[in-house]
A and B are shown apart, each in its own frame.
Chain A
Amino acid sequence: MNPAIEPSETIADTLSAGEPLNEPWVERGGVLWFEGPRMNVREVAHAMNAVGARFITLTAYQMPGNEGLRLEYHWDLAGRLLGFNFPLAGNSIESIYDICEAVDWIERETHEGFNIEFTGREYEPLLLREGNVCGVNLREEVAK
């Protein structure tokens, strides 16, 4: 990717209002997935803010075996559902809470359910109560 080009411009250039989206967007399972140059989640969040997209949710996936975790982020742009995929190397990813307020509760819920650390933000328990251990992979706990 050309370092002189801002990632937000790359995404914005590909999103023509009302027209079908072509590469690097690929329609799969009802979502237009961005398959362009790899960006980090904060670059994507900035790009989505720049085009006026609305954050919908993020979904965590526990991959089989030792493949770790994967996150899918979804935004809506005038009725089009946009998706971004982030395989996690460890169990952490940068928080986008300071860029996108709507992500607050789902980052907290995902932290509590999958032990994914959203770095750069403070947590308060959302679903768990005082005395519960916050930041445990509940799926692995149930499997034990």
Chain B
Amino acid sequence: MSYKIPMGPYHPALEEPYKLDLICEGETVTDAKLHIGFNFRGIEHLAETRNYIQVIALMERVCGICSNIHTLTLCSAMEKLTGLTPPPRAQYIRVIVAELERLHSHVLWAGIAAKLMGFKTMFMTCFEIREKAMDVLQAISGNRVNYSMNRIGGVNRDIEDPQSIVAMVDALEREMVKTIIPIFTTSTTARSRCAGIGVLTHAKAVSCGVVGPVARASGVGQDLRKEAPYAAYGEMEFEVPVQPDGDVRARLLVRALEIMESCKILRQALTKLPPGELASGGDGSKFSFTTGTATARVEAPRGEVMYSVSWKEGSRNPSRVHVRTPTFVNMPSVRYMVQGARLADTPLIQASIDPCYSCTDR
């Protein structure tokens, strides 16, 4: 006999406002229905009531983890409408902050995944390392969550002592190599909870149009930093980790390898940081927009973020801002990941896409 288990919208496994109706046969999940929108904020509509300075602060609050990515994408789109190009130093600083944010996001996810595996010691270790990443971001921006680094035409703050950040990145990488990656890849606990669980096949990943580490863990080798480089990514050497298995372990491995690649990018960007101005476009208080729509895409920690921004010449407010976040496209694929899974594995499977409901309920 089949029965339905409603999981959420507020449940102890993941403190996120969404609901999963699980259809089960015994302990096996046969299908699932997802429900979102419990905290929908109408930010896109709200953005139309904000001027070009205020809208940056507003969109930084779409997400509490990848806040910098949202302003980077928004500013990139607005730069196309103002005709401004950020100077080289600003492009490098954008890369540095984006990669630090990726480190922070991936380590945070590793901690949460460890907790859901019942591996609480690892959770504490990950969060200790995450604190170090946040310390670096705080040292650069003065903030731990909303960094306020991006403005139209460049960045707001400089990195005055890049070598001190290199030392922090080295320490972070050592810790990853010494502790987190070996434990996640070799421990029996991690392997038994992750291998062969929550599989998303390559074909289904393509069909659902999933992005970021979820796509790369199903053998889809897409990454905008390589395919459509923005900021200074075109000048960086790095690999895009891809795993073929499509299970929770593959998603874990992709993120672990991406942490190493982020360290590689950070070291290059910090070492080669060019001198010069932080922004173009005067003091940053007045901008002229042309009429039209501009679109920008950025590879966020969870995958591709896209902003379409529409403006009318002479207006201080955008006439439309549309945000396509990675979780919005990754989340529907959870339905396929949980089909055939054990009920007890569903929290970890859901967490393995690194869902962000703040982004989804934007």
Q: Which of A61, A79, A106, A128 contacts B228 (CB 8 A)?
A: A79
A69→B87 CA distance, assembly (Å)? 38
B302 CB-CB contact with A under 8 Å: no
A62→B319 CA distance, assembly (Å)? 9
Q: Which residues of A contact B77 (CB under 8 A)?
A: 29-30
Contact (A28, B328) CB under 8 Å given A54-B209, A59-B308: no
Interface residues on A, range: 20 to 34
Q: How far is the CB of A77 from chain B (nearest CB, A)?
A: 10
9 tightest A-B contacts by CB? A79-B227, A102-B209, A127-B37, A29-B294, A79-B228, A57-B324, A59-B322, A30-B295, A101-B207
Are B295 and A127 interface neighbours, CB within 8 A?
Answer: no
A70→B192 CA distance, assembly (Å)? 50
Tally of A-B Cβ pairs under 8 angstroms = 83
B320 CB-CB contact with A under 8 Å: yes
Are B306 and A56 interface neighbours, CB within 8 A?
Answer: yes
B7 CB-CB contact with A under 8 Å: no
Contact (A80, B228) CB under 8 Å given A28-B292, A31-B295, A56-B306: yes
Q: Which residues of B contact A59 (CB under 8 A)?
A: 308, 320, 322
A31→B222 CA distance, assembly (Å)? 18
A8→B226 CA distance, assembly (Å)? 28
A83→B295 CA distance, assembly (Å)? 10
A-B contact pairs, 24 of them (CB 8 A): A29-B292, A29-B294, A30-B80, A30-B295, A30-B297, A56-B209, A56-B297, A57-B322, A59-B320, A72-B308, A74-B295, A79-B228, A81-B295, A81-B297, A100-B209, A101-B207, A101-B208, A104-B332, A105-B328, A106-B324, A124-B33, A126-B37, A128-B37, A129-B37
Residue of A nearest to B38 (CB): A129
Are B296 and A30 interface neighbours, CB within 8 A?
Answer: yes
A78 CB-CB contact with B under 8 Å: yes
A84 CB-CB contact with B under 8 Å: no
Q: How far is the CB of B223 from chain A (nearest CB, A)?
A: 9
A54→B361 CA distance, assembly (Å)? 23
Are B37 and A30 interface neighbours, CB within 8 A?
Answer: no
Q: Which residues of B contact A (CB under 8 A)?
A: 33, 35-37, 40, 42, 45, 77, 80-81, 206-209, 222, 224, 226-228, 292-297, 304, 306, 308, 310, 320, 322, 324, 328-329, 331-332, 361
Most buried by A among B209, B227, B292: B209
Q: How far is the CB of A108 from chain B (nearest CB, A)?
A: 10
Q: How far is the CB of A15 from chain B (nearest CB, A)?
A: 15
A134→B2 CA distance, assembly (Å)? 30
Q: Which residues of B contact A55 (CB under 8 A)?
A: 209
Are A126 and B294 interface neighbours, CB within 8 A?
Answer: no
Q: How far is the CB of B182 from chain A (nearest CB, A)?
A: 34
A111-144 vs B, Cβ < 8 Å mask (1 yes, 0 no): 0000000000000111111000000001100100
Most buried by B among A31, A59, A101: A59
Q: Which residues of B contact A139 (CB under 8 A)?
A: 45
A79-109 vs B, Cβ < 8 Å mask (1 yes, 0 no): 1110100000000000000001110111000
A104→B209 CA distance, assembly (Å)? 11
A21→B36 CA distance, assembly (Å)? 39
Residue of B nearest to A102 (CB): B209
Q: Which residues of B contact A81 (CB under 8 A)?
A: 228, 295, 297
Q: Which residues of B contact A138 (CB under 8 A)?
A: 42, 45
Are A127 and B40 interface neighbours, CB within 8 A?
Answer: yes
A29→B77 CA distance, assembly (Å)? 8
**A7-58 with Cβ < 8 A to chain B:** 28-31, 54-57
Q: How far is the CB of B11 from chain A (nearest CB, A)?
A: 17
Q: Which of A102, A105, A126, A142 contacts B207 (CB 8 A)?
A: A102
Are B293 and A72 interface neighbours, CB within 8 A?
Answer: yes
Q: Which residues of A contact B209 (CB under 8 A)?
A: 54-56, 100-102
Contact (A105, B332) CB under 8 Å given A55-B209, A138-B45: yes
Q: How far is the CB of A9 from chain B (nearest CB, A)?
A: 22
Are A74 and B36 interface neighbours, CB within 8 A?
Answer: no
